[in-house]
Structure 1
Amino acid sequence: MSTVRTVLGDVDPGRLGVCDAHDHLFLSSPQLPGQELNDGAAARDELEAFRAAGGSAVVQWTPYGMGRRVADLPQLSRAAGVHIVCATGLHQAAHYAPELLKALRGKLADVFVAELTDGIGTSGVRAGLIKVAGGFHALDAHARWTMTAAAEAQRATDAPIAVHLELGTGALDVLDLLCGELGVPPHRVILGHLNRSPDLVVQRRAAESGCWLAFDGPSRSHHATDWRMPDAVRALAEAGFGDRLLLGGDTVVAGARSVDGGPGMPYLLRRVRPRLVLDLGEDLTNRILTENPAGAFAVEWR
């Protein structure tokens, strides 16, 4: 039976409800000094604000070594009444100390599998997806290493692989590697940040592969793509790919939280959802927020 692996255990996909398919409660990186998501009280407030807006599930894409605070997630989930799915995986090399990456050589896939099946550290919490990342219009040696390990872990567990596309680029290169060379089933690949590079031809070709397309990180002034996103989503839906689309908020710095004055998680339901209803209708918009993430993150765990 397929289940979604949350921080409180495996749940029936039908119980997931309205889902923010890509976000962060906790995150730290040397690339974002002084902007860490590391405040537990603020994380709870943000979850409660999301819940008040009608949300019921959040998928945290924060991977290994980036301040996931996994041990705090079950308590937050219970307190806010929101399902949380957490990730294993590895981001781009720039987010890590070279010593840590060196220590993971030769055992990365084993780390991913252990976190998916046995649990993360001593927390007892099991990851529900694998997060990796590409580069800008290319895949460097680090990306190929992490994606190869992710593919090995996917074969062992059937877990989905969620991919950070740098500025939304490189989608077809990622699919060529993961699904072509490494044999990952396309329906187990989630491409993130497609809204950042609004190339409708690339998006449609990616959708034709059978993968999931995530439009996440709305209202970022330096991306300037909010106004294009509904057009892209509508074009994909009209082409028959409405059942492959996901939506997320991707809050990565403290100032972006709604409780700190930013758009945060509630923005997805407060502003993005009604905007999409105008273009797609309420039924399809609701499907993108409920049935689609249930399908993307539901796994027959091995």
Structure 2
Amino acid sequence: MSAIRTVTGDIPAERFGVCDAHDHLFFGSPRLPGQELRSVPAARAELVAFAALGGKSVVQWTPYGLGRRAAELPPLSRETGVHVVAATGLHQAVHYDDRTLCELRGKLADVFVAELTEGIGTSGVRAGLIKVAGGFHSLDAHARWTMTAAAEAHRATGAPIAVHLELGTGALDVLDLLCGELGVPPHRVILGHLNRSPDLTVHRQAAESGSYLAFDGPSRANHATDWRMPDAVRALADAGHGSQLLLGGDTTTAAARSVDGGPGMPYLLRRVRPRLTAELGPELVGRILTDNPGRALAVEWPDPVGR
């Protein structure tokens, strides 16, 4: 039976509820010094605020080596009543030092599979998806390496692959590689950050492949795309792709948390949901927040040896 792999165990999709399909409770990168998401009380406060607005689940896209704090996730989930999905995978090379990348050479797919089926480190928490990343309008050697490993791990487990698109670009190149060359079924691919590049033609072409499209995160000053998102979502829904759309918050810095004055996790339900509902109607928005994430993340997980 297909199930969503959360940090407290596998659950059926119908229990997943209203979902923030891309966010971070914990995250740390040398590219963002001093802005790490490390505070457990702050993470708990974000989940509580999200739950108060009807949120039931959060998908943390934090991959290997970027401060996932996997052991903290189950108690946070139980305390707040919010389902949490953890990620394995690897981000862009700039987020890691050379030693870490060298240690992973030749065994990256094995690491992904182990974290999906056995657990992350000694935490025992199993990941529920694989997160990788492309570059700005390109796929460099690092991206091809990580996506090849992700495809191998997908074949071993069925896990979905979530892709950070740099500033929303490169979606078609990612699909050519993952689904064309590497044979990953398009419905197992989630393309992130499409709101940052509001190219409706590319959106439609990506949707026609059968992949999921995520509009995740409030607009930043250099993006200025929030006002275009309802039109992009409407165009995709009108073209018959409403069942492939996801929404998320993508909180990546401490300053962006609602407890520190930023939009944080509550923004998705406090501001994005009513805005989209006013323009697109409650039925479509409800499906995007509830039904679509359940389908995107539900997998026929294999039984690990010895379990």
Please state which band the TM-score falls in when normalised by the shorter chain: over 0.9
1:165 partner amino acid: L
Q: Report the counterpart of residue 23 of structure 2 in structure 1.
A: 23
2:210 partner amino acid: G
Q: Report the counterpart of residue 50 of structure 2 in structure 1.
A: 50
CA contact (8 A) 2:134 2:164 kept: yes
Structure 1: distance between partners of 2:156 and 2:204: 30
1:139 partner amino acid: L
Q: Report the counterpart of residue 156 of structure 1 in structure 2.
A: 156
Q: Report the counterpart of residue 13 of structure 2 in structure 1.
A: 13
SS of 1:228's equivalent? helix
Q: Report the counterpart of residue 119 of structure 1 in structure 2.
A: 119
SS of 1:162's equivalent? strand
Aligned pairs for 1:124-143 within 5 A: 124-143=124-143
Aligned pairs for 1:75-94 within 5 A: 75-94=75-94
Q: Report the counterpart of residue 197 of structure 2 in structure 1.
A: 197
Overall identity of the aligned pairs, in %? 78
Q: Report the counterpart of residue 97 of structure 2 in structure 1.
A: 97
CA contact (8 A) 2:133 2:165 kept: yes
Deviation of residue 280 (structure 1)?
1.4
CA contact (8 A) 2:5 2:11 kept: yes
Structure 2 residue 221 is matched with structure 1 residue 207:
no
2:268 partner amino acid: L
SS of 1:178's equivalent? helix
Question: What is the total number of aligned residue pairs between the two structures?
Answer: 302
String of CA shifts for 1:60-108, please: whole Å, max 9, x gaps: 0000000000000001001111000000000000000110000000000
SS of 1:55's equivalent? coil
SS of 1:295's equivalent? helix
Q: Report the counterpart of residue 297 of structure 2 in structure 1.
A: 297
String of CA shifts for 1:235-259, please: whole Å, max 9, x gaps: 0001110000000000000010111
Aligned pairs for 1:237-256 within 5 A: 237-256=237-256
Structure 2: distance between partners of 1:259 and 1:221: 21
Aligned pairs for 1:27-46 within 5 A: 27-46=27-46
Deviation of residue 222 (structure 1)?
2.4
RMSD across aligned positions (CA): 0.5
CA contact (8 A) 2:46 2:257 kept: yes
SS of 1:227's equivalent? helix
Deviation of residue 220 (structure 1)?
2.2
SS of 1:299's equivalent? coil
List gaps (5 residues or longer) in structure 1: none
Between 277-286 and 99-108, report the one with greater CA deviation.
Answer: 277-286
SS of 2:131's equivalent? strand
CA contact (8 A) 1:219 1:263 kept: no
List gaps (5 residues or longer) in structure 2: 303-307
Structure 1: distance between partners of 2:204 and 2:7: 33
CA contact (8 A) 1:5 1:127 kept: yes
1:5 partner amino acid: R
Deviation of residue 278 (structure 1)?
1.6
Aligned pairs for 1:245-284 within 5 A: 245-284=245-284
Deviation of residue 223 (structure 1)?
1.5
Q: Report the counterpart of residue 286 of structure 2 in structure 1.
A: 286
Deviation of residue 122 (structure 1)?
1.0
Structure 2: distance between partners of 1:140 and 1:211: 22
Q: Report the counterpart of residue 107 of structure 1 in structure 2.
A: 107
CA contact (8 A) 1:20 1:268 kept: yes
Where does structure 1 differ by over 4 angstroms across 4 or more consecutive aligned residues? none
Structure 2: distance between partners of 1:255 and 1:120: 27
